[in-house]
Homo-oligomer: A and B are copies of this chain.
């Protein structure tokens, strides 16, 4: 009996790959859920950036809220030269952010169909294997009904699977603990779920990352602390990389 196993795509961030036990499941989407400022966008940028830089894998970043120019500036503070990659044709933005003058009439249900066509086009033009959607929360606020959220999210992950890309889909949550997604269904629909936390303990904040679920693969469980380092990005702290940096017993 020889069964085909699910492949992994290393992210490029050593600590994170350790927690993921190798990387994201190739060809599948991962939901990245977190409160405001928890680091969702930073992680999404870094996943694509490192793909281009370290693995020659191109990226498409679909943004629902921040404008591409803002994302470029924010990424610059992490040392990521997105503009440069855009010029090289290894990175493309799909801009689905809200433009008051242009999108004035947009109150009804969001037209995901048209957007997914634009996404498909960008992925094919760039030849992308990594994709980020940041954040579907901006769109899902419109839906009262969990059934609609469920269906639309399924539609999105379905297209991403069809495109054969490995994707990060960010989503919002209002509190650090309790229900994962805002509508209480997001975490069930997706194959893989990561949670970013920025918890207030006493008077200090503590950032952690956790793999809540990854269907069909092994992974580390529980919360792992991380920091966001200027000119670098997210650095996940695991026993392994702590060990690497610590002086070995012999040296003492």
Q: Which of B37, B100, B159, B179 contacts A193 (CB 8 A)?
A: B37
* B-contact 0/1 string along A216-234, CB 8 Å cutoff: 1110011100000010000
Task: Flag whether A65 is at the interface (Cβ < 8 A).
Answer: yes
Minimum Cβ distance to chain B for residue A1 (Å): 5
Task: Flag whether A50 is at the interface (Cβ < 8 A).
Answer: no
* Given A5-B76, A36-B213, A142-B147; A137-B188 close (CB under 8 Å): yes
Which of A84, A135, A221 has most B Cβ within 10 Å? A221
* B-contact 0/1 string along A33-64, CB 8 Å cutoff: 00111000100000000000000000000000
Number of copies: 6
CB of A191 within 8 A of CB of B70, answer yes
Q: Which of B70, B147, B212, B223 contacts A36 (CB 8 A)?
A: B212
* B-contact 0/1 string along A135-150, CB 8 Å cutoff: 1011001100011101
Task: Flag whether A121 is at the interface (Cβ < 8 A).
Answer: no
Task: Flag whether A174 is at the interface (Cβ < 8 A).
Answer: yes
CB of A154 within 8 A of CB of B98, answer yes
> In the complex, given contacts A3-B80, A137-B188, what are 6 additional A-B residue pairs having Cβ atoms less than 8 angstroms apart?
A3-B79, A65-B154, A65-B189, A70-B216, A99-B158, A204-B223
Q: Pull 21 A–B residue pairs with CB atoms less than 8 Å apart, ordered by A.
A: A3-B77, A3-B80, A4-B76, A5-B76, A36-B187, A36-B193, A41-B215, A75-B216, A77-B217, A100-B151, A100-B154, A135-B188, A137-B188, A138-B150, A141-B146, A141-B147, A141-B185, A203-B208, A203-B222, A204-B222, A205-B221
